[in-house]
Amino acid sequence: MTLKRPTCPTCGSKAEWYRATKNDVQRIYCRICAKPFSNVSAPRVLLFDIETSTINATVSGTGEQRINHEQITDDFYITSWAGKMLYNNEVFGASVTPKEAKKRDDKRVAKELHKIIKDVDFVITYNGNKFDIKKINWRFLIHNMPPVIQYGSIDLYRKMKDVFGPASLAMDYVLKELGYNGKHHSDYRQWAMASNGDAGALKDRYEYNVNDVWMMEDLYPRVRGWFKNHPNFAPWLDLHQEFDPSLKLAEDEYRCNRCLKVIHKLRFTLKYQSPVGFFYKVGQCPHCSCLIRETRRMGGQKVRTK
């Protein structure tokens, strides 16, 4: 899949642009006419999942031991990845061929992922901050690809760990407890066969990726209202009002910063205290249940607590 680059409303250019900051707001800057403009398709939120190969090493036994880096004969590589844009039915991805797997060559697969991820605004993963993102960054570096650091990360595992206390935070367990289908079955034998280039195992691993992506999209809207911190998606749309008048809100309308749905006559009946001690009026989104805070603090005075 190739994401469409935004078109500059001034000169019509599609190719020469990059992200820039103006007045502390992220915008698009056109290199042709040197003017900032907004991306009418934002926010672009990517859900993705990767599978990696085994790491081959020479060991002296099967007991508990520490493997030195000099014992490693083959580092991991990306066997497959799958992704989809949030609330879009198209799933895309790539898997190494049996020939590439035997050579442990994931350059083509990594290049396709790099092409997609450099054009998104946010990524949603499950334990991606610790695993997926660091792994793909290492493979990008191995293949001399430029860094991709502009996107925001929503790691469902980390955010759920801060809020919930289930018996297990494994995605398969969480999904089943919430009434969804679990993850596809996978074991070490299939993992090893895919790492060594078995066509059937590689296909199964890719289908495993695809299923994980769909499961994350089921889980995300179910739990996002509980998260204490979440990126504010609303400004990504509000930036474009000068180009799209239909996005303007009436005086008694608000846009939820998470689900982006318009809320009519929201009542700010609750109170929120910021970490520095200011109080704000807040209301609850009727669609996703997240709290929406007014931008002005109550009374203009800082309230100290014991």
> Could you tell me if 63 and 167 are in contact, meaning their C-beta atoms sit under 8 angstroms apart?
no
Contact predicate 159/130, CB 8 Å: no
Mean pLDDT of all residues belonging to the chain: 83
Structural contact between residues 126 and 155, judged by C-beta atoms closer than 8 angstroms = yes
- Statement: residue 305 has pLDDT above 50: no
Sequence-separated (6 or more) residues with CB below 8 Å from residue 15: 5
**With bands split at pLDDT 50, 70 and 90, how would you rate the model's confidence at 53?**
very high
Outline which parts of the chain fall under CATH 3.30.420.10.
45-58+70-226
Residue located via tokens 């083959």: 74
Residue 113 near residue 79, CB atoms below 8 Å? no
pLDDT > 90: percent of the chain:
42
pLDDT band at 187 (very low <50, low <70, confident <90, very high): confident
Instruction: Please write the tens of the pLDDT for every residue from 141-152.
Output: 999 999 987 889
83, 273 Cβ separation under 8 angstroms: no
Which residues are registered as beta bridge partners of 27?
20
Burial of 110 (0-12, 13-18, 19+ CB in 10 A): buried
What whole-number distance in Å separates Cα of residue 93 and Cα of residue 82?
4
The amino acid that residue 24 corresponds to is D
Fold designation for 1-43: N-terminal domain of TfIIb (2.20.25)
Percent with pLDDT over 70 in the chain:
80
Q: What residue spans in the chain does CATH classification 2.20.25 cover? A: 1-43
Report cis status (omega within 30 of 0) of the bond before 43.
Answer: yes
Contacts of 120 (CB under 8 A, 6+ apart): 3, 44, 45, 46, 85, 151
Q: How many Cβ atoms are within 10 Å of 237's Cβ, its own excluded? A: 16
Structure-block tokens of residue 124: 């949603």
Residue range 163-184: average pLDDT?
91
pLDDT on residue 261: 83
Can you give the pLDDT at residue 88?
84
In a 3-state reduction of DSSP, which class is residue 111?
helix
Closest by Cα among 91, 3, 20, 16 to 49: 91
Bridge partners of 272? Answer: 280
CA–CA separation, 207 and 80 (whole Å): 9
Run of H or E residues at 262:
strand 262-264
**Hey, what CATH topology would domain 45-58+70-226 get?**
Nucleotidyltransferase; domain 5 (3.30.420)
Query: Per-residue pLDDT tens for 233-284?
Result: 877 776 555 555 666 777 778 888 888 888 888 888 888 887 788 888 888 8
Least confident of 68-77, 113-122, 146-155, 293-302: 293-302
